[in-house]
Every structure is written in C-alpha cells, then in structure tokens.
Amino acid sequence: MSTPVRVGLVGAGPWAADMHAPMLAAGPETELSAVWARRPEAAAALAARHGATAAASLDELFDACEAVAFAVPPGVQARIAPRAAAAGRALLLEKPLGFTLDEARAVADAVEEAGVVSMMVLSKRYHPETRAFLERASRMKVTGARSCFLHGVFLGGDMATPWRLEYGALLDLGPHLLDLVDAAVGPITGIRATGDPRTWIELTCEHENGAVSQSSLSGAVRLPTGHTSIELYGPEETLVLDGDAMDHDQCWPVLRREFAAAVRTGTPPDLDARRGLRLQELLELAAADAHAS
C-alpha cells in the first residue's frame, strides 16, 4: 500500500483508548489523523498520545481523514455515521449499528447511497483461529450447535457503561455470537429468546439447513475470566472454537490491514454495514420474543 489511510476517530473513551487509537496509530496501513469526542479534553489527551490532532468539530474531523472509525455508544454512532458517509468517508463501525432497527437501517442505507466502504468491528472474526474454524465448518454437516458468551464486565469497571447496563448482553454480546453461529451453522431463519438481556438470556435459532443452535449470553455473572465458545455437532464430527484461548492482539493487525485494503480498492468486505443490519434484524427478533414471553 503506497500511503497509509488517514483515519479519524469518533470517541475517546476506554474502548477508543485501549483498542481503536493504538490499532490505527500503529500502522503501517493506517494512521490516526484526528480524534473528536463530546469531551474535548479527552479527545485532546488521546490525540496527543498518538500524534494526532484533536478536532474541534465533526466537520474538522472529516476534513482531516479519508475514513472514520467509531468508538461511541450505538445511538451516537447511528447519528454520526450517516453524516460521515455523506461526506464521502469510509466507515469502521462498531456493533451494534444502533439501538434500534430503524437506526441500523439508516446507517446501512446511508453507506449504500454514498457508495462508501464500510466494515464492522466484529473482533473475533479477524482471528486466524476463527477463520480456520469457519473454513472447517463450511465442509461439515451440522445438525446442532451450542455457544456462549459470558463475563462479568457489566458488574463494574470502565466497560459497565450506561447503554450496556440498560440494554444488556443481547445488544452488546449478541452480535458476536449471532454472527459466528450464522456463519458457522448456516443462515438463521428463526429465533426465540428467553430470559432478561440485562442478566442472562438464552437464544434458540433455527437455521436454513434445518439445524438448531442455542446460545447463552450474560455480562453480569461472576467468573474468574470470561468464557466464550462455539460447539458444532453433526453425525460425523464435533468442532469447537475456544474463544477463551484467543489472543485478541492477533485480531487487530488483520482488521487494520483488511480495512485499509478495502478503502484503497473501494471493495466492501463481507462484514460491512449490510451485515451489521442483518445482525440488527436478528437482535430485534430476539428482543421482541423475549419481551413477549
């Protein structure tokens, strides 16, 4: 790649500081050009740490970059992302796209209308072990699957943010598992949910190929460490993805490289805003079923 993609970052909270800013600034495929946040002092501190500019406004951020990365609550992302797309900037989007299906659809429609590249930060999808797992799964006859994403982050600390405490594991953790199960087992055609998204929720999915999968989600259970896994079962073999053993530092160089390549070639990846919209549709179905039961 001849020159790094200049990326502006929206947000200066813990996730922006711990992942987005260091990843984008590390290069060589990208450079962190500017940071904007609702708290100017936080934006200035994060920008200074990585040799970037603190933007005084969103328009100033857009002027300083070719692409915009988001590390803000879903509702904030849903308001700003269409503006960035309309300004012709590529988008690196967090999950979920928004709090509601309408918000998510507005983001995906804005991306399509502007003709810009978008990519979702579904972190586990960029790990080599996940890709090997999905490749093997594509050759396997799957009749059933079990998965879980469990941790205690919502019990306190920097990531126990207001939106996570309000919407719970379904909106925060659900996109990860639904994306992986949909990709590994086959397209999800129906979904049922029981439990409370703020404490523990169970999802049962029916898949296009007749398989059934079950997923457990919670961010409010006390565990020594988080627990993430996907188990695929069939008449010939069992296949397991152990998320606990993953070193997420291996995901970020892959994500950075593939985002930069997509921007430079103008070729949207599979994990684009439309994929984010599909996941939001599944989240909406799950939430409606949980509220009805």
194-228, pLDDT tens digit by residue? 999 999 999 999 999 999 999 999 999 999 888 99
Q: Is the pLDDT of residue 1 over 80?
A: no
Residue 175 token pair = 């996109």
- Is domain 128-245 annotated with CATH 3.30.360.10? yes
pLDDT of residue 283: 97
In the chain, where are the structural domains located?
5-123+249-270, 128-245
pLDDT of residue 2: 76
Q: Is the pLDDT of residue 157 over 80?
A: yes
Which residue has better confidence, 198 or 260?
Answer: 260
Give pTM, 2 decimals.
0.96
Which residues are CB-neighbours of 158 under 8 A, at least 6 positions away? 13, 14
Asked if 116 contacts 90 with a C-beta cutoff of 8 angstroms, the reply is: yes
Residue 14 neighbours by CB distance under 10 Å: 13
- Give the C-alpha separation, 18 to 123, whole Å: 14
Residue 279 token pair = 């996941």
- Give the C-alpha separation, 276 to 272, whole Å: 6
- Give the C-alpha separation, 245 to 103, whole Å: 34
- Give the C-alpha separation, 204 to 191, whole Å: 6
What CATH superfamily classification does 5-123+249-270 receive? NAD(P)-binding Rossmann-like Domain (3.40.50.720)
Q: Is 210 exposed, middle or buried (CB count within 10 Å of its CB: 0-12, 13-18, 19+)?
A: exposed
Q: Is the pLDDT of residue 114 over 60?
A: yes
Chain centroid, CA 257 distance in Å:
17
pLDDT of residue 184: 98
DSSP state of 222: -
Q: Quick one: residue 47, left, alpha or beta (phi over 0 = left, psi -120 to 50 = alpha)? A: alpha
Asked if 196 contacts 218 with a C-beta cutoff of 8 angstroms, the reply is: no
